Structure 1
Amino acid sequence: MAALRGKSRDGEEISEAPRVLIAMTEAMANLVTLTLRHGRYETKWCVDPNEFSRLVRDWRPKLGFIDIDLYERFIDLFGRGLSHGQPPLLCFTRKRDTSVKLSAFERGADDIVEVPFTLDEIVARPFALIRRAYDISVPLVPRLRLSSLEVDLVEQKIRIGGKELELTPIQQTLLYLLAANSGKVLSREELLSSIWGGEFEIESNVVDRHIRELRVKLGDDWRTPMFIETVPGRGYRFRSQVAVSDAAN
């Protein structure tokens, strides 16, 4: 893969994978980190304000991801005490309130993503911000292998056992969210908040319905699942250990 070459807003030379500092729930941060494997980035997750400030100063990220519904004050921390200029900042919100977005822009946000979002946004928007700020084009990795699943982000397809299947954008995001948090139980509340934002009530069966439809496409029997396990009274868990690799390799 060709080396990345570019300059920061203050003229600093950049020749490595752009560093992305993420302030979100752990489940969301894992989803974003997995999705960014479709590019070439180095990521760190932090929700402690003091550690976040230290990382901004010492690790010198080239891009920030902040969930402003939960970590709104981190917008100000992202640009504080820097001698090399504030890197581009991508904010996430479940709110449709224009004043919330305008406030984020006034305080340093370069772009805002609304939840629910599609995975291609998590690839395309950082690509645009990095190119604009540093004149770098981050390579695109269209296909990833998640253990026995090969996922094509561009075509919204998965390949399993030689069979090719199409996924809806929601099914693709749900699969990535579960796989990114492999081995961990995600509650319905976490799944709703991460994928659908505030569009549905917690009592809604939207999560169960989409899990059921995704299982059908994966050929996954809920009684003896290979991939998505129901944990009674708690939520859902991705059973398979996920080893992520570029499907082209």
Structure 2
Amino acid sequence: MRTPELLFLEDDPQLSKIVSETLRSRGFAVTHLINGEQGLEAFAASTFDLCIVDVMMPFMDGFSFVKTLRASGNTIPVLFLTARSQDKDVAEGYQSGGNDYLRKPFSLEELIFRINELLKRSPQLKTRTTQPLSVGGFQFFAERQELVYLGRSIRLSHKESELLSLLVECKYQLLDRKTTLIKLWGNDSPFHARTMDVFISKLRKHLQADQNIEIINVRGLGYKLID
């Protein structure tokens, strides 16, 4: 099995040393850099399987780095690390294209668990079909994170695209709420449940041009996509 390649962006020297050494001892290849600008340069020269990104960094912060990656069409899984604990900061992390969010201080075992869970999704992200999926009158390009309707293109955030992919996979069937929260956010906490509801509302807005499409809320259980 190929050694997973991790890009680790963190400007704290002590934390960087501890995390990098631990991850290498667990069989990961780690490229450590100290800001988003260096991270983008690294992507121009190498390929990675996952990014671990500190939010507060000099020159280019973590949110800006990930937004730039997503704007280029890169779907690599991203785990944010941050000392910021406000719910709005967590929401901004997901909206910028992050897949998971770990607050400092954290245990190294939890970090490794989160990394392994994200890496399970990495092959799926890399092998998605380039053929569009039909959602009513829309064409959904999961790899490009794009909806097209009557020639009009709608760009989706990374999390919107992941959620819509799950809805399409089980079209006309119940998408279980708890399972989806754990798969996309790592747990089913009330905060993440509210965050998912926000993304469902955004998807409904994106799809409203086709009035035959519905995302039905099955109270307490989950959602159904009908087209």
- Which TM-score band (shorter chain)? 0.3 to 0.5
Looking at secondary structure, tell me which structure has more helix per residue.
Answer: 2
Bigger relative CO (Cα 8 Å, ≥ 6 apart)? 1
